[in-house]
Structure 1
Amino acid sequence: MRYSVSHKQQTRDKLLQSSAALAKKEGFASVGVDGLMKAIGLSGGAFYSHFSSKDALFSAIVERELSQSLERLGEGEQQSRERLERCLKIYLSMAHVEQVQDGCALPSMGADIARADIAVRQQAQAWICRLQANWARTLESDSLAWAILSQCVGALVVARMLVDPQIQARVISSSYEVLSQSITRQ
């Protein structure tokens, strides 16, 4: 039976969404094609009608996740320091620590991206640089934008490595406090 173009696109979108959530939660390398397809109720063989390889899927996940992050953080809008601070409050929250599959791809998939081929790394670099440039315009400081971006990602990585929720919360709240002060003082 032939499927419509829209059905194929819907299946591809569902595969991207499900695969991104699994990759962020379990690591992209740890999930096989059969597991990715099983998560959306299809056989492993159907995968290749959507992507030429698992690497092609990973590239599409990186593109999707980082473009969504950029959109959420207000690229293209005239962003205020207050809006940036609100974004940081949401980003540096225990909900973001606990809901890995729903959060930013950088803290959860950064190591996978670093080990990916050069094309994926260049793609990630382009999105990260766009985010940093947006923040730099808002903050009127290139270096502060890099520092905040790095601190946000690092704080989530450290918090997720820890077991004790109270210590996790201290990492997140301390990072937010210092970054918030940096934004308002600047």
Structure 2
Amino acid sequence: MRYSTEHKQQTREKLLASSGALAKRGGFATTGVAGLMNAIGLTGGAFYNHFASKDDLFTEVVRRELSNSPLARLAERGADRQRLARCLEQYLSLAHLRDAEGGCPLPPLGVEIARAELPVREQAEQWLVALHSAWSTTLEDPELAWALISQCVGALVVGRMLASAEVQGQVLEASRSLVGRALNETR
């Protein structure tokens, strides 16, 4: 039985959404093709109607997750320092720290992206360079832009490694304070 182009596109979208959530929750490398397809109610063999390889799927997942992240939306709309500061305040919150599936994909996927094939890393680099460019314009300081991106992502990674909400809060508060000082000192 042949499926319509629309059905195939809907299945592809379900696979991308499900794979992104699975990757951010438990890791992409640890889930096989059968598991990815099973999550959307299909057999592993149907996977190859949508992607040539699991690496191709991961490249698309990374592109999609990064382009839908809160940081990407801020860069697309442009921002002044106040708006950037408000966004980073939300980014460095316990709510965001606890929402690995719905939050920024860099903290949960960063290590997997680093180990991935070149096309995946190129996709991540392209996005990060565009984010850096937008923040450099807002901050008028390219070094500060890289430092803030790294600080924010790193704070979430460290926070998620910790067991207690109290220490997680300390990490996030210290990062918010540092980011706030950096934004105010460079004016």
What interval of TM-score do these two structures reach, taking the shorter chain for normalisation?
over 0.9
Q: How is 1:1-186 mapped onto 2 (pairs within 5 angstroms)?
A: 1-69=1-69, 71-75=72-76, 77-186=77-186
Following TM superposition, by how much is the alpha carbon of 1:10 offset from its aligned partner in structure 2, in angstroms? 1.4
Equivalent pairs, count: 185
Kindly report the root-mean-square deviation, in angstroms, between the aligned alpha carbons of the 2 structures.
1.2
2-structure distance, mates of 1:144, 1:131: 13
2-structure distance, mates of 1:109, 1:101: 10
1-structure distance, mates of 2:61, 2:120: 10
What 5-or-longer segments of structure 1 have no aligned partner? none
Deviating more after overlay: 31-40 vs 131-140: 31-40
Q: TM (normalized to structure 1)?
A: 0.95
1-structure distance, mates of 2:113, 2:75: 23
The runs of at least 4 aligned residues of structure 1 exceeding 4 Å deviation read none
Paired letter, 1:72: R
Following TM superposition, by how much is the alpha carbon of 1:2 offset from its aligned partner in structure 2, in angstroms? 2.3
Q: TM (normalized to structure 2)?
A: 0.94
2-structure distance, mates of 1:90, 1:127: 21
1-structure distance, mates of 2:159, 2:72: 25
Per-residue Cα deviation, 1:79-113 (whole angstroms, up to 9, x for no partner)? 11111112112211111111111111111111111
Following TM superposition, by how much is the alpha carbon of 1:142 offset from its aligned partner in structure 2, in angstroms? 0.3
